Structure 1
Amino acid sequence: MCTGKCSLCISASLYPLVLISIICNIVLFFPDGDVKYARDGHITEEVKYMGGVIGGGVMVLLPALYIHLTGTKGCCGNRCGMFLSIAFAAVGVLGALYSFVVAVLGLQYGPLCKVLGVWVTPFKNNEQKYLTNDKLWNLCSEPENIVPFNIGLFATLVATNSLQLILCAIQMINGLFGCLCGTCIEKGPL
């Protein structure tokens, strides 16, 4: 496969991952589908870091757009464009890595929820692992089903960001080959 076509495949794969990442982060602001938790500040701390919007979203979208341009005829579909795609892909790696770390911390610490009338993060410093013991989930009385809600969305972010990280790393290698060997995009008449 030529490096230009590989760039098109990578960018086409990154677009839906960016969308998933942004949507997951936004949905995390509304546990139980209610805005009152966000309005009152009863949101898990890792959600406020906006890893899915900033890291897996904007910081991967911009490289995806440029990577897409390197796979087409025009200003970026050349050796210089492929060289620049390495730097853009590196930004994508950093963004995906940021979102990945935030999501892993969100999974590790667990959600902010009401326990015996007090808003706490009950699983943060708990010896027992709540991810493997669903009987502990009943500690959270509000928002309803907050534990599976957080686990599902943060796990989706972890998977999405892992794929983004891999695709951007592949583009860095692809960009190096494109820089050294060219993009093999057919040149049209001048």
Structure 2
Amino acid sequence: MASSRDTGNFVLQQFHPNGSTSVLWQSFDHLLHCWIPMMKLGINRITGHNWSLVSWMTPSLSTSGEFSLEWEPKQRELEIKKSGKVYWKSGKLRRNGLFVNIPANVQRVYEYIIVSKKDEDSFTFKIKDQNYKKFPGWTLFSEGRLASEDGDIGNADLCYGYNINGGCQKWEDIPSCREPGEDIYKGGFLI
């Protein structure tokens, strides 16, 4: 039997003679470039299934792109990776319920849910205000920008391996054409 849940999850279930059911497939296990409330990022330790958000290849080509949004359970942070290399991190979740490197005005409508147990490490969110009228999801764009309708969440597209602004990560393997400590400018601004 197939059904669509209130969360938007499309579920295909098998009914057994004893009256029980089992999930054969569900859309929330196969994330694309848009992440909506109650979809998970993380890992199912029983099945080994990894929930991650993957960008499109280009704005007009919907095949899987280079960027992914993942939950890092040990550090309890969100990470944007490009071809497996961490470009951006959300920073720790503070006591006020907000991530360090995500603008507070963008986070104000979300309540974050972290699950850490024997069979699962995951992260999801829900909307605090049921009267919220905008699209509640997050989109990972092909250039590495993560955004909601309230603004940018993470900007891996501005991370180049030598800057640490806004959650960007430094890399050990900076291209040899640059000198350590060299400032790089883009559009007249230091990046």
| Same topology, TM > 0.5 | no
Question: Under a length normalisation based on structure 1, what TM-score does the superposition of the two structures give?
Answer: 0.26
* Largest Rg, 1 or 2: 1
Structure 1 or 2: more strand by fraction: 2
Question: Under a length normalisation based on structure 2, what TM-score does the superposition of the two structures give?
Answer: 0.26
Q: Which has the higher contact order (CA 8 A, sep 6+)?
A: 1
Structure 1 or 2: more helix by fraction: 1
